Structures are given as structure tokens and as C-alpha cells.
Amino acid sequence: MDLTFVFPCLNEEKTLGGCIRAVRESLDAAGDALSYEIVVADNGSTDRSAEIAVAEGARVVPVPRRGYGAALRGGIEAAAGRYVMFADADSTYLYEDALPLYRKAVETDADMAIASRITGTIEPGAMPPLHRWLGTPVLTWLINVLFHGRLTDCNSGFRCIKKTAYAGWGIRSDGMEFASELLIKALKNKASSVEIPSGLRQGPPERVAHLRTWRDGMRHLLFILSERPRLFEILGLMLLGLSAVLQLTAVFFENPVVILGLGVFGLHTKALLLLAGLTGMQLYVFSLMLYLRRREEPTPLTAWLIGIGEAELFFLLLAILVAEALLVGGVVLDWVMRGFANLDLTNVLIPGIHLLALPLMLAIGLLGLNVFKKSGDGPM
């Protein structure tokens, strides 16, 4: 079979029948040149959706695991077509573009073809302004920048994929972030993608959308960032290195140095450098956690820290604790020599906290990392 069209469905009795007919009308225009089926991935509907699907000649595939992504994964796995196309069953997409989308995928031998709403015509009221002018553009830009894409609409739910290519992408998401994962995994696997201009219609006014703007937007964002741990690793190491070098340099200046009319290397500079160092360590430890998911290859240093054995970890932690004790002893000694007067905030206390806090944060992060690994919930 050439094509399977999948509708993810959860209580869509008011719109499902019309969507199936619209897709069938579009695909039937190809005549005998195209063999296809329509599958409804039923995600636990309690209304007449399944009955309507059967009455319209579609094949119903029950998917008990809840979620938009779970429904689509179940439908795609059950598909008999070489290509699988899918769209929401809420009557908002331009289903007449089904045949042009399929033809574009076949003509270009693309692994994925996307019907872009942004480059097409969006009816007034069809897409909330927050989604159109902020959510979708920002998430699309992030995916393009982080994964070298050339997309215009990362949130389009109207796509056509080559099933053999999809099988190698390892898609796992159950929720709305399925849309982002599909794009990111395709880009990471150097899959070929094309777009056609499409659009969006306004759905029935009484229909309650399954999408939740802030919850699902955050899920998209978190998934996108989780797929690029190198971003946090590099940013963290840069902040750590730069703040440490500048903090040590600043210790040699008794008074602020005027550069371009600004006084630097004084109290405020050292406080900001401390903040930068703490932020850098947080980002770096976060990247260590993300690398457990094995989405990317870390730098040699990070790979060593992630794979460190128990014996090496023990001696590393011991060395950090010894260094911490020596630093604390030095600060206390300086305090004693001052007659227990106030410590020098600029040249002793802030640099001391900088040197004390960061290794300690790394030690705690490594402990958490290894506990997480040993729990069996680490690499995914």
C-alpha cells in the first residue's frame, strides 16, 4: 500500500466524519495511481468516534496509552502504507492538501513532508495570537538554530513521513511534544524534509481543544533543550573558565581599574563573577544529567566524569574535600590574623566563596549522577 492516513482521536464525533471524507476526496483524485487506507488511532474515546470511523470506511486502531504522541505512534505502527500521513481530526487543517503533500514527498523522495500553516492562509481566529506570533515562531527558531533546520512551522500537525525512515528515529514521546521530537530526530538523523504551504481553519466554536498553551508549550521547550545537552555543557564550561580566570585576576588589584570609563575588578565585578561561576556550574551539572540520555557525544572531560568508576569517584571527592578544607583553613587563618575582625569582602571572602562553592557543587552533582545511574533509570 502506498499511503496510510492516520487520525489521532479522542472524542471527536462532531468533526471526525467530515475530516475522513475530506481526506478521501483529496486522495481519490489520484485515481488508481494511489492505494491508501485511513486509520483512526482511537485514544480511549467515550463518544461515537469509533462507530463513525467504521461507518466512513476507516480502520480503527485502539491505543490505550493516553496522549497525542502515544495515539500517533500507535497509528503509525499499525499503518500498512510505505508513507504515513497524519493530521488532527478537529477540522482545522486543510485536508484537501493531502494529495499535494503526498506527491511532494514522493517527487522529492523526502523522509518527511510538512504542510506549513505559517506560509499558507490562516483564517481569522483559527490560531491564537500567542501561538502564531510567539510560541510557534520561537520554538521553530530554536529548532532551526540548535539542530540546523530550515523549517517554518514546527508545530504543524499535518505531515507525511516515510515509514522506513521513521522506524530509525526512535520516537518515544507520548504527549504533544511528539511534534517537536519528530522534527528533531529527523534533523539529527540527516533526514530530508520538505514543506508545502497549507493553512489553518477555525474549528467548531463549541469544541474544547486538547492543547494546553502553557503546559504543552513548556513540554515542547523542555524536550527541545533536552536534546541538545552540548549547549549547556559548552555554556557552563565557558562561564566556569572565564569567571575563574577573571576572579583570580581581580585578586591582584587593590582598587578598581577604570576601563572605558567603568570601574572593574572591584567588589561589584567580583560579586558578578561569583554569580557567573555558580550559574556555569549549574549549567554544566545539568548537562551531565542530560548526557545520561545519550542524545549526543560529550567532550572527553565530560565523558570521563559521566563514566567515572566508584574508586576514581571516591578519590576525586576526597581530593575536592581536602582542597575545600585547605581553603577554609586559609580563610580562618586570615580571620585569626586580623584579630577576628571583619574579613576583606573584596579580596578574601568573595573569591574564597567562588573557589569553595564550585568544586562542592560539582562533587554533589557527581554523587547525584552516580546514584541516578545505579538506580537503573539513567540512559534512555
| Three-class secondary structure assignment of 336-363 | HHCCCCCCCHHHHHHHHHHHHHHHHHHH
**Nearest C-alpha neighbor of 91 from the set 7, 203, 199:** 203
pTM: 0.79
Identify whether residues 251 and 189 lie together within a single domain: no
Identify whether residues 185 and 234 lie together within a single domain: no
Give a yes or no: residue 361 inside a domain. Answer: yes
> Which of 226, 249, 267 is the endpoint of a domain?
226
> Which of 179, 197, 226 is the endpoint of a domain?
226
Identify whether residues 197 and 48 lie together within a single domain: yes
In degrees and rounded to multiples of 5, residue 329 shows phi and psi of -60, -40
SS3 state at 122? strand
For range 340-355, the mean pLDDT: 72
pLDDT, tens digit, 9 for 90 and up, residues 368-377: 888 777 665 5
The answer to whether the beta carbons of residues 159 and 76 sit under 8 Å apart is no
pLDDT, tens digit, 9 for 90 and up, residues 127-165: 888 888 888 999 999 999 999 999 999 999 999 999 999
User: CB 368: neighbour CB atoms within 10 A?
Assistant: 13
Residue 210 vs residues 12, 88, 207, 244: alpha-carbon distances, Å: 11, 10, 9, 48
Q: Domain containing 188: what range?
A: 3-226
**316 versus 147: which is more confidently predicted?**
147
Give the strand pairing for 159-162 and 112-122.
Answer: antiparallel
> Which pLDDT band holds residue 57 (cuts at 50, 70, 90)?
very high
Q: What is the pLDDT of residue 286?
A: 92
Query: What is the Cα–Cα distance from 222 to 228, expressed in whole angstroms?
Result: 10
User: Residue 75 is placed in which grid cell?
Assistant: 497509528
User: Domain holding 76: CATH number?
Assistant: 3.90.550.10
Give a yes or no: residue 380 inside a domain. Answer: no
pLDDT, tens digit, 9 for 90 and up, residues 8-55: 999 999 999 999 999 999 999 999 999 999 999 999 999 999 999 999
Residue type, 35: S
User: Residue 291 is placed in which grid cell?
Assistant: 548526557
Paired strand residues for 4:
37, 84
For range 75-83, the mean pLDDT: 97
Identify whether residues 154 and 220 lie together within a single domain: yes
Identify whether residues 49 and 181 lie together within a single domain: yes
Give a yes or no: residue 379 inside a domain. Answer: no
Identify whether residues 64 and 100 lie together within a single domain: yes
Percent of the chain scored above 90 by pLDDT? 57
Identify whether residues 83 and 180 lie together within a single domain: yes
For range 89-104, the mean pLDDT: 96
Query: What is the Cα–Cα distance from 43 to 137, expressed in whole angstroms?
Result: 29
Identify whether residues 363 and 336 lie together within a single domain: yes
Q: What does R_g of the chain's alpha carbons equal in angstroms?
A: 28
Query: What is the Cα–Cα distance from 6 to 41, expressed in whole angstroms?
Result: 7
pLDDT at 196 over 50: yes
Query: What is the Cα–Cα distance from 60 to 210, expressed in whole angstroms?
Result: 20
pLDDT at 378 over 60: no
Burial 172-197 (b: 16+ CB within 10 A, else e): ebebbbbbbbbbbbbbbeebebbbbb
Give a yes or no: residue 294 inside a domain. Answer: yes
Identify whether residues 164 and 190 lie together within a single domain: yes
Give a yes or no: residue 246 inside a domain. Answer: yes
User: Residue 332 is placed in which grid cell?
Assistant: 580562618
**254 versus 271: which is more confidently predicted?**
271
Give a yes or no: residue 19 inside a domain. Answer: yes
> Which of 203, 226, 249 is the endpoint of a domain?
226
Identify whether residues 11 and 138 lie together within a single domain: yes
For range 120-125, the mean pLDDT: 92
**252 versus 214: which is more confidently predicted?**
252
Give a yes or no: residue 24 inside a domain. Answer: yes
Identify whether residues 244 and 292 lie together within a single domain: yes
Give the helix ranges, DSSP H, for the chain: 16-28, 49-55, 68-78, 98-107, 129-130, 136-147, 163-167, 178-188, 213-226, 229-250, 267-291, 300-306, 310-337, 350-374
Paired strand residues for 194:
113
Biggest alpha carbon–alpha carbon distance for the chain = 95
pLDDT at 126 over 90: no
**257 versus 239: which is more confidently predicted?**
239
For range 238-267, the mean pLDDT: 79
Give a yes or no: residue 159 inside a domain. Answer: yes
For range 249-253, the mean pLDDT: 79
Identify whether residues 233 and 113 lie together within a single domain: no
Q: How many domains does the chain have?
A: 2
> Which pLDDT band holds residue 379 (cuts at 50, 70, 90)?
very low
Q: What is the pLDDT of residue 254?
A: 67
Query: What is the Cα–Cα distance from 249 to 252, expressed in whole angstroms?
Result: 6
pLDDT at 168 over 60: yes
> Which pLDDT band holds residue 166 (cuts at 50, 70, 90)?
very high
